[in-house]
Amino acid sequence: MRLTLPQLRTVLLAQSIEQVDGGRTLVSQADWDEATRTAVATARQRGVPRVGAGDVVLERADTVALRASGRDTTVSALHEPGAAWRWLARGLPLLALAMGLAIDRIANAHRVDLLSPPLLTVLAWNLCVYLLMAWRAWRPPASRLALLQGLRHLHRRLGTGRGRGLAARIVADFHARWWAHTADLQVQRAARVLHLCAAAWGAGIALSLLLRGLVVRYQFGWESTFLDAAQVHAIVSVLFWPLAVLFGTAPFTLQEIAATQNFAGEGAGGSRWVWMYVGLLALVVVVPRLALAAWTRWRECRWQARIDPSDAAFDALRAALPGDLLIGLHGPFAEVLQNAAVQTPQGDRLQFGDVRQPVDAVLAWTTDALPPAWQGAPLLALPWEDFGASWVLEPALFDRLAAALPAQQHALGRLRAAWVERNELRFRQSLQALARHLHACAHPGAGDAPAQHNHYARQVQALDATLRALHGQPPASTAGDEPPSLQGHAALPAPRRASTTALAVGTSAGAAAGAAAGAKAGALIDVGTGGLTLGAGTALGALLGGTTAWVLKSLQKKDDKDEVLRHAAEAACTHYLVIAHVARVPPADAARLAERWRAEVTGTVAAHGDALACALQHEGRGDDAVQALLHTMLTGILRRSFANGGTDAAAEAPPGKAA
């Protein structure tokens, strides 16, 4: 990811604050969370479909850096640095030029030494620098920054001491990060300034010679204890060879050099010698150094800051960043969860993609071939019965995804909590609906048995509509779900599981009692098998058709009110189990699970019947005591029904002990 230098400075400063300020004293955790949420919202407004670290790092860092800068002047200086570096880069070459000018002479105020040691030293030093640069360019790049790495290490050790304050530690950490990211740029900047200083120094020396010549008569020559005129002529020929080749300057002859021994030359010769030295300085020092400075400046302009959002330095950001996951479900019953997307307050999103969308991972419980769009995603095997058979098992989905997608584990943890909270909220709302239903059944009001029966049927329909709405089920068909009319002893539909007895109002008391008892047991089974396999509408039909005869017969007896309430509780709990698990259970397992539920519900209601009847004595809606009892009853049934290996064992338990 490419950044400008101000953007890089802001990002690194935010990283330093986040790393050093573990106690969140400078920028509070609420500020961090708000900065993340704002950056994510802005990215999504820009049309980013799936927000990553690179989409929010700049805005989040800018928000944090601004808040920290407003609270600490030291941090503010890091966020908005002054022009010290620019002034230094301009001032040092000017200082070098002034120092070159201040050198009023090379060796003697009135002499131009043919073999001037200071001047030869300047030339030799620059030639050595050029050779060193060529050697550095030839060597592997890793060796170039050894000094900078040592400086960063020293800076880090000095800045992270225990006795230093928070701002000082932030400064030290920031500079360590800054050197790590901008080492190449700093090398180019330093090289440019050094090249300019060297060029200014050489130009200052040349100007010093020329300006001094305005007021001083130079006498040139040479003297040596060990060299003769021929040897000096050879040295001078090599020294001024570039000028002779490039500009056609006439070289000094052996006779001229011999004539200047012991400084026997005249002023005119001194002028020629000065100009040759000035040309040599320009050719060897000033021009090459200016060219190298221009080259490094060009490299500076081409340099761009880069960060890798997948780097470990951004672990804290990725942990705080909302996840945006798209998961593929591959196998039977996948449509049950297809629209069950979840989102957290932090902005995390989990959606289940269709076969045309690329996904982050595929959760499969079948061996069928994957859709083409999913074939590049990680394939996770998880049996449906381990996570999809009931909402109480659904957290296993996030456990499996977190193990397979470690980079998203923080987001998956938040999504898991939001998913569980949503299920628990729906469960609490279902318990409220069940409690209202039981209160209505416990207090039917005045009227004969048919009127009370119709009241019960309407309550069943109201409960069904509420549970359907909570669990995303379509409303029941009006034509098929109207409560049967009891006026004129109209016939009632027979229960699906009772194949030998047709129930009708108006039969003899003994026959009706026997048929009603069978209808009750059959309907509680049928509400499971039909609802789990054919749909919730079939379950409602079983309740309205198969149990109304039993309810009507019980209502005709004055002392059967508790039995009616017990049956209403059994029917309501069973209906909740069906609505909450529609289309989740394979047809082969539906009958066994329905039989289990009949035993579980009957035994659980019997065990809590007295407490439930006591709680329902007071007329009211949404009573906490009733909801608490229902919570205990249904939670136990669900846990036993869908615990690992617990289905068959619990089904074998006596009905009275199921609670």
How many Cα atoms are found within 13 Å in the side-chain-facing hemisphere of 239?
A: 23
Residues 35-63 have a mean pLDDT of: 87
- Out of 420, 453, 468, a domain closes at 420
Residue 118 domain flag: yes
In this structure, which amino acid lies at residue 399? D
- One domain, residues 60 and 100: no
Q: Report pLDDT digits (tens) over 448-498.
A: 666 766 777 788 888 888 998 998 888 865 444 443 333 332 322 333 333
Residue 431 domain flag: no
User: Any alpha helices (H) in 384-508, and if so which ranges?
Assistant: 395-404, 409-442, 449-470, 478-481
- One domain, residues 352 and 476: no
- One domain, residues 68 and 90: no
Q: Which has more confidence, 553 or 243?
A: 243
Residue 437 domain flag: no
- Residue 506 pLDDT greater than 80, yes or no: no
Distance linking the first and last C-alpha atoms of the chain:
60
- One domain, residues 276 and 336: no
pLDDT of residue 496: 33
- One domain, residues 69 and 98: no
Residue 503 domain flag: yes
The CA–CA distances, whole Å, from 420 to 353, 400, 469 equal: 21, 15, 19
Q: Report pLDDT digits (tens) over 540-557.
A: 665 555 555 555 555 555
- One domain, residues 269 and 203: yes
The CA–CA distances, whole Å, from 200 to 94, 207, 290 equal: 7, 10, 9
The mean of the pLDDT values for the chain is 77
- One domain, residues 225 and 205: yes
**Among 159-168, 290-299, 376-385, 451-460, where is mean pLDDT lowest?**
159-168
How many Cα atoms are found within 13 Å in the side-chain-facing hemisphere of 278?
A: 15
- One domain, residues 258 and 170: yes
**Among 172-176, 389-393, 417-421, 620-624, where is mean pLDDT lowest?**
620-624
Residue 513 domain flag: yes
Nearest one of 74, 263, 90 to 170, comparing CA atoms: 74
Residue 432 domain flag: no
Report the relative pairing of strands 361-364 and 324-330 from DSSP bridges: parallel
**Among 51-60, 142-151, 313-322, 619-628, where is mean pLDDT lowest?**
142-151
User: By residue range, what is the domain housing residue 351?
Assistant: 322-420
- Out of 79, 107, 137, a domain closes at 79
> What is the Rg, in whole angstroms, of the alpha carbon atoms belonging to the chain?
46
- One domain, residues 52 and 115: no
- One domain, residues 72 and 90: no
pTM equals 0.61
**Domain count within the chain:** 4
- One domain, residues 297 and 408: no
Which tokens is 158 given? Answer: 């000095």
pLDDT of residue 520: 53
Which tokens is 373 given? Answer: 């769009």
- Out of 420, 455, 488, a domain closes at 420
Q: How far is CA 644 from the centre of its chain?
A: 34
Most confident of 306-320, 443-457, 535-549: 306-320
- One domain, residues 470 and 550: yes
**Confidence tier at 532 by pLDDT (50, 70, 90):** low
Rounded distance between C-alpha atoms, residue 496 and residue 594, angstroms:
13
Residue 429 domain flag: no
Secondary structure of residue 365 in the 3-state scheme: coil
Residue 428 domain flag: no
